[in-house]
Structure 1
């Protein structure tokens, strides 16, 4: 019992430290792992065994892949093209940039997506004289919603997809595409309804026509000065499609997602070896994120080793024997916690808890118990929209806005974010309930 209390205290200390944000979360996770090894709770061999190298390999592969595409300029070219297509029309700007954000977030990490599209959204809206805040917030919302669609779109999905047996890229598409698309439609409809005075065409206003023409002239100038060879575009598209195909064909080829990601990254570097500076590229990889995950895996391994996770699963069983009720508890609890704290430690703990729970009665005999995984994924991803600290993309986007003189306070963010989060979790509730009774 004392050992359990000690391990729980270490985990809670890490969790609180992450919330307070006084010490880097990577250092907190690494310190927790070291303490648990030195105290003898885990042997070094057990600690290494606790690390999910599949998850780390998938993360590393996708990081290198995305940084490689960034280095060759494909994302800058894409942002300029999107700017020209909008023609300075507020409605086109709102719809096109948000749809692009949701789509890209399904395949890139959310931070990369907002780094590409948040500055574009700000410059387009300011260029035609509109207040950019709600447009920028919509990009944040779409990045978190779109990221839920695939196994590689958001870290919680990467954790679930890598650690849960029999769940792969195709399963995420099968179960997550519908709630993501529905949530995108609901959120766009909600924002159009509540912010319609900003998000509308202004073809009849001379001042808008003048401002939009000036802005488009500037984008055309940037496009002319930024040359991207057609071969670079074609090669980038080919490698991107090849990687996505690799994920989709897993049921046929049985090539694991981490192998696809690493292979795609290496292939991209080979194709563009003349254009990419490897030292510069590897300097931009988020090694601290990989170390954070490794440390966290060791801490979660210790929780499992001393029986804490088994105790939690028994508590959940005693809480309710109704599978649907438990599915909805997991969904809403994940969403609320993800809005308030880093969702990665929560998801990392819940994966072994749910794995154990699904093998206990009455859940083991219920064919719908697998919906618990989708409740966890939807809650963790959509819940990230709930507050300014709910997801890394939120923090980065607000930082970009601040660097351009646009201040978004915690309460300002929450005022727009809470209704959006509630609507998406409501959509998820209806979706999971529908699947349960199908």
Structure 2
């Protein structure tokens, strides 16, 4: 009993410390892990075993791969091509950048995506004399929605996939449709709210003049960028090989972490002059990886103390109806992810759901796997709820602020809350259809 209380207090302290944001979350997670080992609430061997190296390996591999693609300036080239594709039309800028953000976020981390897209979107929209605020907000929302669609799009999905063995194809099969619907819903809501800004101005001479000047400037930037065709081809081929590896990893038996790290190594081998390993390593978020390691040890101690089984029994006591439990997991994940870091919550929920599926009353239920999709949709989409709900929200708002586009916490919430609510409703309906089907 003492062990359970002590571990529970450490877990609460971790959540509180992360939520208050007074101390870096990596320091909090590592301090908690060290405390648990020193007080023998978990042994050193158990602590090492609790660290999910599949998750950390996949994160490391994707960080290195993205760093390599960034160094060869592939993302800069893509953003300029997107700008030219819009023709300076506000409606096309809104549509193209929204959809492109969602698609890119499905395969790259959300922060990298907003770093690529937002600066050019602001330049384009401001260049034709419009307020970029609505465009920036939609890009941020779409980065979180798109990241929900695949195994590698968002850390919660990486954690779920690594712990459960769910494949890349299963994530695509179950999450692409609801995410596509949510992309459309978010676009419609923002478009309706800012209808006076996001509209065609094809017959306005002043707008035509400014848009043509802007497009000419983008063409000059593209010429100045001057990326050799061989670099573009090799980069795209290697990234294609990585995606193929993810799609086929269940058949080939290759761990997704091996695929990601292998892709980064291929980039380093293909571009020995353009890329240097230490440059790529500098772009790796080592603090994030250490945060995950510390957090896994904390969750390992929680599981060792039997608290996760108590949590699973608590959920069962609420309802023995799987459909109701799906909605509870979905909405709880969404609400908590809007106000606290979703990674600790997901780390605790994964073994809890595993207990429900393997030992609980839903062990023989044919639709029990839907709980994983409820957790993923709630945790990832819920991050759109507030300005601090996801890293992409914080970084995207900061980029906009540095460009003179101020998005306050209240302004963000006014657009984010209806959008988040609508996307969670879409997810609830989708899960209901899967449950009944």
TM-score (norm 2): 0.99
1:177 positional shift? 0.6
Q: Is 1:299 matched with 2:298?
A: yes
1:118 positional shift? 0.9
Render the CA deviation track for 1:172-203: whole Å, top value 9, x for unaligned: 01100110111111222222223222111101
1:268 positional shift? 1.2
Q: Is 1:407 matched with 2:406?
A: yes
1:215 aligns to what? 214
1:313 positional shift? 0.5
Query: How many angstroms apart in 2 are the aligned matches of 1:33 and 1:318?
Result: 31
Give 3-state SS (helix, strand or coil) of 1:197's partner.
Answer: coil
Query: How many angstroms apart in 2 are the aligned matches of 1:324 and 1:114?
Result: 35
Give 3-state SS (helix, strand or coil) of 2:407's partner.
Answer: coil
Q: Is 2:63–2:283's contact at 8 Å kept on the other side of the alignment?
A: no
Query: How many angstroms apart in 2 are the aligned matches of 1:137 and 1:413?
Result: 7
1:327 aligns to what? 326
Q: Is 1:106 matched with 2:106?
A: yes
Give 3-state SS (helix, strand or coil) of 1:108's partner.
Answer: coil
1:362 positional shift? 2.8
Query: How many angstroms apart in 2 are the aligned matches of 1:301 and 1:228?
Result: 47
2:364 aligns to what? 365
Give 3-state SS (helix, strand or coil) of 2:88's partner.
Answer: coil
2:396 aligns to what? 397
Query: How many angstroms apart in 1 are the aligned matches of 2:215 and 2:246?
Result: 38
1:284 aligns to what? 283
Structure-to-structure mapping, 1:11-410, within 5 angstroms? 11-165=11-165, 167-410=166-409
Query: How many angstroms apart in 1 are the aligned matches of 2:408 and 2:9?
Result: 33
1:75 positional shift? 0.4
Root-mean-square deviation (Å):
0.9
**Which stretch shifts more, 112-121 or 202-211?**
202-211
* Structure 1 residue runs without a partner (length 5+): none
Q: Is 2:268–2:276's contact at 8 Å kept on the other side of the alignment?
A: no
1:360 positional shift? 3.4
Query: How many angstroms apart in 2 are the aligned matches of 1:208 and 1:354?
Result: 55
* Structure 2 residue runs without a partner (length 5+): none
1:364 positional shift? 1.3
Query: How many angstroms apart in 1 are the aligned matches of 2:324 and 2:337?
Result: 20
Query: How many angstroms apart in 2 are the aligned matches of 1:262 and 1:207?
Result: 50
1:4 aligns to what? 4
